[in-house]
Structure 1
Amino acid sequence: MSTKNLGDLVNTARQAAKAYERPDLESRLAVVARTVADDRARVLVVGEFKAGKTELVNAILGGRALPTDAHKATTVPTVCVHGEQRSVTLVRAVEGGQEQQQISPTQLADHVTEKGNPDNAAGWSHAEASLPIEELQGLRLVDTPGAGGLASPASVSTMAEMPGSDGVLLVCDAGRELTAPELALVRTAAAVCPTVAVVLTRADLHPQWRRIAEIDRSHLDRAGDRLRAVPVLTTSSALALHGAENDEASLVTESGVVEVRRLLREDVVGGRHARRTRMAADEVLVVCEQLAARFRAERDALADPARAQRISDELERSTARVAALRDRAARWQQTLNDGTQDLVSDIEYDLRDRLRTVTTDAEAALDDTDPAKTWEQFAPWLHQQVSAAVSTNVVWAEERTRWLAERVATHFAEDGEGVLPPMTSPEGQPMSADPVGLLAAPDHEKFGFSQSMLIGMRGSYGGLLMIGMMTTLAGLALINPFSIGAGLLLGSKTLIDERKRALRRRQAEAKQAVRRHVDDVIFQAGKNSRDMLREVQRTLRDHFTSTAEQLERSLNATSQAAKAVEADGAKRTARLADVEAELERIESLAARARTVRESVGPARLVGA
Structure 2
Amino acid sequence: MTSWEAAGTTAQTGPASLIPHPRPAPDPLRGAAVAADPWWMDTMDAVIRTCRAHGRADLADRLARRRARLLHPQLRVLVVGAAQQGRSRLVNALINAAVCGVLPDGDAAVPTVVRHADTPVAHLVRRDSAEADWTAAVGLQSRLPLVPERLGASLAEAAATLPAGAPAHVDVGVPRSLLAGGLVLIDAPALDFPATGGTLAAARDLADRAGADLILYVSETGRRFGDDELAVLAGLGQVFPGLLVVLTKADYAADWRRDLAESRLRLNQAGIPAAVAAVSSSLRAHAVRSGDEALNRESGFTDLIVHLRRMVEAKPDRLARATAGALGRLALQELAGPLRAELENQGDTVSSDAAAHLQATHRRLDDLRKCTVRWQNRLSDEVADLMSDIEHDLRERVKALLAESDEFFATNDPAKSWDEFEPWLREALQELATTSMTWLAERTEWMARRTADMFPPEAGDVLPPTALAVTDGGVLQGVSTLDAPPVATFTPGQKLFIGLRGSYGGVVMFGLATSLAGMSLINPISIGGGALFGGKSVRDESKTLLKRRQTEARNAIRQHVDDIFTKLNKDARDSVRRAQRALRDHFTAVTEDLQEETMESLRNAKAAADRDTAARQAHGRRLREELTRLAELHAQAQALTDRARA
TM-score over 0.5 for the pair: no
**Which structure carries more relative contact order (alpha carbon 8 Å, separation 6+)?**
2
TM value normalised by structure 1: 0.40
TM score, norm. by length of structure 2 = 0.37
